[in-house]
Amino acid sequence: MSQLLHYKILATATLDYLKAHFSKSIIVDGRSHIGEYYEQQQLLVEKYFQKKATGLLKKKFESLSGPLRKRGDQAFARYIAERTGQQLDVVSEAQEAFQQRAAKFLAKPVNEQRRSAGTNNGYEESPAIIAPDGRKRLHIVRGRSGQQMTSSVTIVFEQSSTGIYCKLGLDEELTAVWKDNDSILITSKKDDLPETTKYRQVQSFDELVTIEYAEG
């Protein structure tokens, strides 16, 4: 088998695994941005294969599979072995990745280590607002992104998380509450600050949550 075909098979198998396991991890207003990204990557794999760009196919496989390998995803390793015959030592790769992160952290001066270990970074995050079933939570985040202040709401599911509301500027009256396990009410200050994100539904696998809005 040529190296060109070898890496095309590996990249395609990796994308199939990612689609099956993560395309439905976050769906907002009926749209899976993650799934769309994987479809775009599949088109690139086909393009590189047609152009006989072995190097690009190899890099694509490494970039797609890298996060899975570095966290020691053994289910992924078994899938690749069964699908392609390629053996991946994800345990060793995960250990090496951890050691590299630890060495990089310890190489910093102590004051930088303390800053890196902190969670502030200019942001103020509310205590978790936990759903009645205890399986989901919300966070209100206010802080600076570059030169721009933002106020936002993030939802955290058991296997994924995403922002569901964001406006430019500081809204100290922004609140979010669970009406029940499957619906949220977000209340924001009535002002002229532009809203950059305002989803009405968010889904993670089989859990669907609707979002209502009000102005205080």
| Average pLDDT across the chain, whole number | 90
The predicted pLDDT at position 119 comes to 46
The predicted pLDDT at position 117 comes to 47
169: left (phi over 0), alpha (psi -120 to 50) or beta: left
**Average pLDDT over every residue of 142-152:** 86
| Rounded alpha-carbon distances, angstroms, from residue 215 to 61, 116, 159, 185, 188 | 47, 37, 31, 10, 5
| Residue from 48, 45, 20 nearest 34 by CA | 20
**Distance, CA of 16 to CA of 10 (rounded, Å):** 10
Tokens of 133: 């079933």
Range with the poorest average pLDDT among 32-46, 57-71, 96-110, 197-211: 96-110
The predicted pLDDT at position 106 comes to 62
Instruction: Write out pLDDT tens, residues 187-213.
Output: 999 999 999 999 999 999 999 999 999
pLDDT over threshold 70, residue 118: no
Give the domain ranges of the chain. Answer: 3-106, 123-215
* 145 vs 196, residue with greater confidence: 196
The predicted pLDDT at position 45 comes to 98
Cβ atoms 177, 184 nearer than 8 A = yes
